[in-house]
Chain A
Amino acid sequence: MSTKEWELGPGSEFRFEVDFKKTIKVRLLSGQAEYFGTELGPEAEYQFSGGENGAIFSWNGCKISVTGECSSAYVADETAMDAYINVHVALQQQRAAAHVSNHSGPRVMIVGPEDCGKTALARILLTYAARQGERPLFVDLDPRDASVSVPGTLSVAAVSQAVDIEAGFMGLVQPSSQGAGETPLVWQFGYEQPDANPALFNALVDCAASAVTRRQKTDGAASGLIVDTRGFSDVARDQTIDHAVQALRITALLVVGNERMHSVLAARFGASDSTKSESVTVLKIPRSGGAVDRSPAMRQQLGARAVQRYFYGAGRERVTSFSTVVPFDDLCILRVGVDAVAPSSTLPLGETRKLSGTSVSPVVPDESLAHSVLAVTSAPAPDDAEAAANVDAVGLQVVGFVNVTKVDMEKRRLIVLSPVPGRLPKQVLLYGNTRWMETV
């Protein structure tokens, strides 16, 4: 494999894309460099694989060596980092003040169109905060590109260390370098888009908000939180964003790279609105030139990679998963909301819709379950189907996921891949739209 050395001037970054099934190795030869805020170790070798597109940035210049083939690799002199560090310092000053006054630190939500580098900005801001000894909470409200867990979920995680260069946010579920372990708090949403089921989405945001509040009661709120969101195409019509801003008591909205969205949101949340007790700072943030548009196929592959990483580990941290047989009788799979709601006009005259976005229905196991990723919740499974229908499945905490590898209708059992050896605990499983098939 060929090795190439790249010299980065101060304030420039090396941007690369790696094809799926390819791997590159990067080393820092001299100087200092960061990968989305996380400093590269002078003696470490980093591997980037499977569709990673990223940027190694240097504040004061560095030299790196890159082994392997990138589908795209270049050094860019113009980055958005000057603005990003300013944002960090501004937030960090708010945190410092909050530590003194014992108030809540900055509660930031990052919004913007698709593929504008929202998650990258979140990662940088979180890592910078962690580097300065803060422990901000990361609220991931992007179910499609879920960074902390598998697609289809919302999650909250405390970030007390630099986000792992290779494993990304997935590394947060691994034991932290400070010695103590930390896992995220995860909820199953089951859809890719918030507006596929806004009622459920909002309900889950409420769950996240109250978990955040309780956590901050013990941990302190000064470090604040950073919320990543799904790329909104039409912010004017979106119903989830207002709710999230209110539920999470957002103090600053960072709008990445979109003038129109900024003006719409500034009008909606800005200080001019005197009816709100606390105004929200709406700030336009430049988009990083390194953010690339992802094709639907690419997104699918990235989603698959996230599941792959859940079951087999991300970066250097490998984990093993186990095949387990689960008889249908031991299963309690529930589904929140319904996939396609029939239009109201098709209902008989005078009937109102009984199903709401948060209604719960049991899922009868059949072949359609094959390859689905089911969320294992912390709630014990009810004894019978009747009780199952009455389970309040909205906002059940997810403790892990299983992947259905085979549906055996004859023997009435599922074969699932599980993150824990032995029998699956008799707990409620939540259905979701995510599908994954192990590939070799």
Chain B
Amino acid sequence: MSSGNGNSASSGIDRELYREFRKELTKLTFNSKPIINDLSKRAEINMNRAETIIKAIEEHLRFTAPKHKLPAFYLLDSIAKNVGGMYIPLLHGRIDKIFIDIWRSVDEEVRTKLERTLGTWRHGFIGGQRNLFPEFVLRKIEEDVNRLKAKAKESTQMLPEANGDDLLDNLTGLQSHAKKRAREEQQQSIQRAVTAKADSYNSTAHRDRRHPDKRQRTPDRAKEGHNSQQGLLQLVNSILVKKQVEVMRRPNDVKLFTVLNMLKDIKATVADSELPPERVQEIREQLFAIDVTQSNGGSRGTTHKSDTTTPPYMPPPLSPDMSSGAHQQQRHANGHSKPVNNGNVTDPTLVVTEAMSSLNKSAGGMADAGQLLQGIMAQPEVLNSLRKVAPVLSSSLESMTIPQHHEGAGYKDFAQLDPIPLSHASIARVRPGIYNILYAGYGNQCSQCGWRTKDHDTDQMKKHLDWHFRRNMRQQNDRERRAPPRGWYLGQSQWEAGAAAEDTQPPAGAAPAPVVDGKGDKDNLKSIAEMKQMTVAAPPNHNDSCAICKEAFERRFNEEEEDWVLVNAVLVDGTVFHATCHAGSH
């Protein structure tokens, strides 16, 4: 249970941050500069958690709908370019895979954009001085892209080979197919191939003793749904559920996730649009194909590399997921974790919740699977149809999903906690995971002092960071000059007036107004955030450092002006200063 915690901690993944960031990423449904900037900023704040951030983006990219991939990719681009630091070396080993995976799942238009961005990695970065990533990384990406392009050309001319990769490519086709009937012509040949291939798998399935239930249920479903779209929807849902369950078993099977994603999209299409009966039948057949093919994927083992026994997919050198199942077990053996579910715990909800969260921990993707499950469960009619179609699965699904619904039971949502009386028995009872009330929902963490604010309370966090900034400035000054006097304590009446009055008072304690540059302090404070946003176009031949503090400027690419600018900078008589330094010197 909590072993996941220990594990994640030692493998450098901050689970809380990971979840928060994943949540943030779901906002990235379009190419929004403010959101991307904001998330880049968070990435910068969490530089020492770079691994976690990248992992979050990676997983997000893996599971999000194709149309959301580009913005997430832009975020990665922004982090690499504007934040850099630890992120660059961490991306070396995996950017190729990330890039190619996105490239594969998107349409021509987006591919062009991807390639354009790829171009900026080589030439455009900091005046053409150097590449964003090392040459070999970039070359690898380009080679892969070219290879895929060549392949795509082939596949339009002849039937594709039905290996695992191509199946995915075909499924990608299937998705857009359901949406765009205009591309029917080209697609049909592919689908025929898929169906044909699936038929052969079907016979495999019938031979496979390990899946006896499948043989039974498949025809049932076919009977029940007829050709109605409703039936199709039920079918999609039931397969989706089955895939979810499979994902639980094989959380690291990336193809399974891709299939899942596609099923999701197919489901959306089926639910949203009117389809002619023959199309319904076509999709139905293809769905059966997916169902059977993928279910057997693990056991065939010849074409699918990933199953329960092989290590999870991951770019080898830098991945945090290097800790495979075996690795985790090793950690267990090392005793880094302590079983949380000890004899004291009797609450079944808690147990299930713990189980869920440990599942979440064991595979980052599970969070998403859970969300997906919740998505399904949130629609009562889907749930009902599920009950009809696949009673066993739907009940198991409910049992898995519902604890997550009120994860408050999992000590996340304070309001939903059972009352804890101040009694001996109640205080003595160990409630594993209850500490989450201090963390869950407090996603914004200041990396300098660990202070957290509520998830969406960015104002408080800004205020807090400003305070750090002021304090750091002051402490820097203190090293040069004398530290400020402590001053006298506030008067009693002021103190009693409380927080409301205090906000309007200058801090009388540590920095008494009359003594240390207190006069403009208040005004300064207000504008620090603004100052930090001030930019100056990077002058040619500029040596990149502030004339006052001698520290380098932060550079950022201004897309409107299409030029590099220095951040937190002012130009005074031809000399560039940090805006804050300049203000501080007056």
Residues of A at the B interface (CB closer than 8 Å) are: 7, 9-12, 30-32, 38-44, 58-63, 77, 82-83, 85-87, 89-93, 96, 128, 131-133, 135, 158, 160-162, 165, 173-186, 211, 214-215, 218-219, 252, 281, 283-285, 310-311, 313, 316-322, 376, 378, 397-400, 419-421
Contact = CB atoms under 8 A, between A and B. Distances in A.
Interface in B479-506: 482-492, 495-503, 505-506
Interface stretch (B202-210, B345-353, B390-398, B464-472): B464-472
Given A60-B2, A183-B490, A90 B337 contact: no
Contacts of A322: 485
Given A42-B46, A86-B429, A93-B419, A160 B499 contact: yes
A75 to B, nearest CB: 12
Given A135-B499, A318-B483, A83 B450 contact: no
Interface stretch (B7-15, B125-133, B288-296, B550-558): B7-15
Contacts of B417: 89, 93
B428 interface: yes
Contacts of A316: 475
Nearest to B16: A32
B455 to A, nearest CB: 13
Contact of A186 (B47, B428, B489): B489
A31 B2 CA distance: 13
Interface string B451-464: 11010000010011
B509 interface: yes
Given A9-B6, A182-B502, A173 B507 contact: no
Interface stretch (B240-248, B268-276, B300-308, B434-442): B434-442
Contacts of A419: 485-488
B426 A128 contact: no
Contact of A61 (B10, B495, B511): B10
B512 interface: yes
Contacts of B572: none
Which of A85, A215, A397 is packed against the most chain B CB atoms within 10 Å?
A85
B496 A215 contact: yes
B564 to A, nearest CB: 27
A211 B414 contact: no
A131 B438 CA distance: 7
A173 B489 contact: yes
Interface in B1-29: 2, 5-6, 8-12, 14-16
Contacts of A160: 499
B486 A7 contact: no
A428 to B, nearest CB: 14
A89 B434 contact: yes
Nearest to B47: A43
Contacts of B449: 41, 44, 162, 165, 177
A59 B496 contact: no
A179 B471 CA distance: 10
B427 A399 contact: no
Contact of A174 (B442, B451, B510): B510
B12 A30 contact: yes
A185 B430 CA distance: 37
Interface string B540-563: 000000000000000000000000
A211 B437 contact: no
B279 interface: no
A73 B5 CA distance: 24
Contacts of A32: 9, 14, 16, 439
A68 B431 CA distance: 36
Contacts of B495: 183-185, 211, 215
Given A182-B502, A421-B515, A63 B10 contact: yes
A294 B8 CA distance: 38
In this complex, which of A158, A180, A211, A378 has the most chain B Cβ atoms within 10 angstroms of its Cβ?
A: A180
A167 to B, nearest CB: 11
B491 A378 contact: yes
B492 A397 contact: yes
A42 B467 contact: no
A183 B434 contact: no
A90 B184 CA distance: 63
A38 B420 CA distance: 23
A119 B510 CA distance: 24
Contact of B488 (A62, A284, A399): A399
A11 B6 CA distance: 10
The 9 lowest CB-CB distance pairs between A and B, nearest first, are: A181-B507, A31-B9, A60-B5, A39-B450, A219-B498, A61-B6, A318-B483, A41-B450, A419-B486
A180 B451 contact: no
A10 B337 contact: yes
B340 interface: yes
Contacts of B47: 43
Contact of B484 (A285, A319, A399): A319
Interface string B324-351: 0000000000011110100000000000
Nearest to A11: B338
B80 to A, nearest CB: 20
A42 B49 contact: yes
Contacts of A313: 483, 486
